[in-house]
Each structure stands twice: as structure tokens, then as C-alpha cells.
Structure 1
Amino acid sequence: MKEQNLKITASIEAREVALIVQTASKFTSNIKIMLDDKKVNAKSIMGLIALGGLDGKDVTILAEGHDEEEAVKELSDFLTN
């Protein structure tokens, strides 16, 4: 399992949520985004919306699978740029 903690610096609105889901869906790994005590599937628009505003928050990306390294790197890059 690969885990990455990061502070989101990008503005996360509906369009960006869709892009997060699209990015996560490219990978076969099981990918979760955790905020506080909530953990949601990064491939689920409704799950990410349920987290509420992510702007400026500290989150953890968790990935498990054969492409977990690439998944975490690409999502981390997207969320911090």
C-alpha cells in the first residue's frame, strides 16, 4: 500500500472533482482519499463531493494495487498544482 499526505493547494470545485475521478479511474489500484476520519473512493464523484470543501485541507491519498505508485504520484501532482 502506498500512502501520501499532502495539503491541497489547488481550488477544488465541481470541474476539478470530475478531473480527480477521471485521473483516478485510469488506474486499476484501489484508491481512497481521506480527510479527517472520512475515507472515500477517489473514483466516485459522490464520494468526493461528500467530503465537502477540500481547498487548503490536509488529505491522505491511499492506493493499493500494482500501479499504486503512479496513481499516488499523479493524484498528488494534480491536487498540489
Structure 2
Amino acid sequence: PAEANDVTAINALIQQIERLKQRCALPPLAVALKEGRSEYSARIPAMVQAALADVTLRTNPRPASAGEIQELLEELL
């Protein structure tokens, strides 16, 4: 909103990011840090499919394939 201050805007952004993480099946950071590499690796196919299904992918300035998304997620290991 135009009348929002910086703190309100930042909090709204954080909420939107959290919603996007849920839609993309990304685990919360605390969970991701606790689970091992194999558990994270096992979740990658679901995360790739969720990312491909996200409507915002169409507005990305650079097209991303399933393989590229998977590679990006694997780099986080």
C-alpha cells in the first residue's frame, strides 16, 4: 500500500516469500539445515515440479527448464 512504511513493506515481502516457499515445497531454513543431504535431495523432484507449476515462472526474464531448476537446487547441497 502507498501509505505503508518500510517496516510494513518488509513484513509484507517476507510473508509473500514464505507463501512462495510453501507453494514451491521449499522447507523452512531450520528444517533444511537439520535434515541431511539425502532427505533434501529426495525432495528436489517435488520442488522442481512446484517451481514449474508456479505462474510466476512465466514472467521470469530468463526461461528456466526443469533441468536448470534441478541443477540450481542441487547446487544448494
- Higher relative contact order (CA closer than 8 Å, sequence separation 6+): 1
TM-based fold match above 0.5: no
Who wins on radius of gyration, i.e. which is larger?
2
More strand by share: 1
Place the TM-score, normalised by the shorter chain, in its bin: 0.3 to 0.5
TM-score (norm 2): 0.32
TM-score (norm 1): 0.31
More helix by share: 2
